[in-house]
Amino acid sequence: MIDFLRGRVAHLETEYVVLDVHGVGYRVFTPNPFGLSRAEDDVQLFIHHHVREDAIQLFGFPTREEQSLFRKLLDVSGIGPKVALGVLAGGRPETIAAAIQQENVNFLIKLPGIGRKTAQRMILDLKDKLGSTGTAAAAVELTEPVLSSAGEGGSAWAAAREALAGLGYREAELDRAWHALKDRVTGDETPDILMKQALQQLFQG
């Protein structure tokens, strides 16, 4: 079983990276692939090795906390790998854990792919099983849902912009990305979709 991979980012797509590990290319699905495009050195991703009847997939995360939370999310009825990946793309592990511990359904339903019933199941199944992630979450104050911030382009872009800023992108870079995207935005996009589109734009320069 693969626990982590360390190598050079050889290729990027909207849902995955190809990590070159000593000449072998591993396709690894990760929450924010284009966030790794700025890495000049080797990248290390903590891996969840997902096996099903018709496919073997690798899911990778920059931190152990994300890896652990991803695995816990998979234990919730109705949450598969793609939804779990979207959840992690929509917020930091400690923030998501805090929302679960505080039973903040309104916060959770703003995450990509999460409806009210699934949010309630997350709280029921995970509130007492968060371990170190939950401990870290105790200090997180949820003043408003991750996707409800107002701002230019609406709440979805505001949330995507906040997440991109957390990856280290500067305000000027984010302004340029939004300027390139805004004419194509329909208003139906989730923050996850807008974030991936912006990252593509930032990656292209």
| Domain's final residue, options 78, 103, 137 | 137
pLDDT tens digits for range 139-150: 444 544 333 333
Is the pLDDT at 134 greater than 70? The verdict is no
Give the three-state DSSP class for 148.
coil
Top pLDDT among 100 and 199 is at 100
Q: What is the average pLDDT across 174-181?
A: 83
Q: What is the average pLDDT across 97-126?
A: 90
Q: Residue 43 sits in which domain range? A: 4-61
Q: Quick one: which of 66, 61, 74 has its CA closest to 118?
A: 74
Tokens 């230019």, located at residue: 152
Q: Give domain status of residue 192, yes or no.
A: yes
One DSSP character per residue, 107-141 reads HHTTSTT--HHHHHHHHHHHTT--HHHHHHHTT--
pTM, full prediction: 0.68
| Mean pLDDT of the residues in the chain | 81
Cβ 18 vs Cβ 11: under 8 Å: yes
Confidence of residue 24 (pLDDT cuts 50, 70, 90): very high
Q: How many folded domains does the chain comprise?
A: 3
Same domain? For 48 and 84 the reply is: no
Q: How many Cα atoms sit within 13 Å of 11 on the Cβ side?
A: 10
Q: Give every CB contact of residue 53 below 8 A, 6+ residues apart in sequence.
A: none
The CA-atom distances, in angstroms, between 177 and each of 97, 138, 147, 181, 203 are 30, 34, 19, 6, 10
Q: Give domain status of residue 52, yes or no.
A: yes
Confidence of residue 19 (pLDDT cuts 50, 70, 90): very high
- CA-to-CA distance for 25 and 113, rounded, in angstroms? 29
Same domain? For 56 and 70 the reply is: no
Same domain? For 40 and 95 the reply is: no
Is the pLDDT at 205 greater than 60? The verdict is no
